[in-house]
Amino acid sequence: MKSRQWRTTMDNNIVISTRIRLARNLKDYPFPCRLSDKGKAEVDEKVRKALINGNSAIAKDFQYIDFDNMSETMKVSLVEKHLVSPEFISNTSGRAVLLLNNGTVSIMLNEEDHIRLQVIENGFCLDEAYDLADKLDTLLDEQLNFAFNEKLGYLTQCPTNLGTGMRASVMLHLPALKKSGAMNMLANNLNKLGLTIRGAHGEGSSSEGAIYQLSNQVSLGISEKSAIENLKNITNQLISQELKQRETLVKSIETKDKVMRSLGILKTAYIMSHKEAVNLLSNVRFGISTGLIDNINIETINDLLVEIQPATLMTILGEQITVKDRDISRAEYIRNKLN
């Protein structure tokens, strides 16, 4: 049991979070791109009623958010937290989200598909995240009658989501592999295995702080269980490679200096951009996971990586501020958290 607990701790030092996303459409309605405002309102109402009337203990804990009455800052903050997609807030007409109070589940209504249900959990827990997503999916399907074809599986607007309609992903912290220069080669090899590795916010995003999102690309002709097992196996291989690279990296005096300098700057700086903060927090996170820093827990760093994002920080502060004032507030926020 002790060995298993150690392995779980090491996994979570590298895997920041896990996400399962399911795309679903109602059988009797066109895809959202061809759906009228009236149709979108009907889909919205049907999904809400299905969730509320479903046999689920957590149904009462969902909050319905109408995006037409939400500030731009709050919308962007939800994107930063991965609770909705950038595409979702680009045109919010007829769109809404059902959000679980603890922030682990969001159900986007009328994005690319009628329903985009996603579960986000801390750490490496693909099975647990899928189990919750599957239960909610079953609850909704019992009342909504999803569009399904015996040969193609769940029908989706984008052909790449046909089949299971599932995207499973893990958010990884891979500073040692990034420093080794292995990421481009790894990305090419993963692509051949039906997986893709990108920046934290998906396609086209940068990998600031050595944070990457690894997800499955194939959803047709493969079961959910097989896709998850494949992702789990590849993630475990990446974890092993990262740990091996860290063994060498952590012995370097330059690495130790970089980690401790980063912590010192975070604890004392009075102005800090988001990009600088992410890279410094990445160094400190590495230091915590390798034992160079023992008086800060890794969850504090994980929380800060979310909370210091521009829109989320302004949401926490409850005010709109200039970029410079935001950089000043970010530095103060980090100082208070770490000191």
Give the annotated binding-site residues for ATP.
Answer: 17-21, 82, 116, 167-171, 198-203
Residues in contact with 302: Cβ distance below 8 Å, sequence separation at least 6, in sequence order: 16, 17, 122, 285
Stated as kind and residue range, the H or E segment containing 198 is strand 195-199
Residues in contact with 314: Cβ distance below 8 Å, sequence separation at least 6, in sequence order: 73, 77, 320, 321, 326
Q: Which residues are annotated as a binding site?
A: 17-21, 82, 116, 167-171, 198-203
Q: What angle do CA 94, 100, 105 make, to 5 degrees?
A: 85
Tokens coding 79 = 């994107």
Stated as kind and residue range, the H or E segment containing 133 is helix 126-144
CB 142 within 8 A of CB 56: no
Amino acid at 171: M
Q: Give the separation between CA 84 and CA 188, rounded to whole angstroms.
A: 28
SS3 content of the chain, % helix, strand, coil (to 5): 55, 20, 25
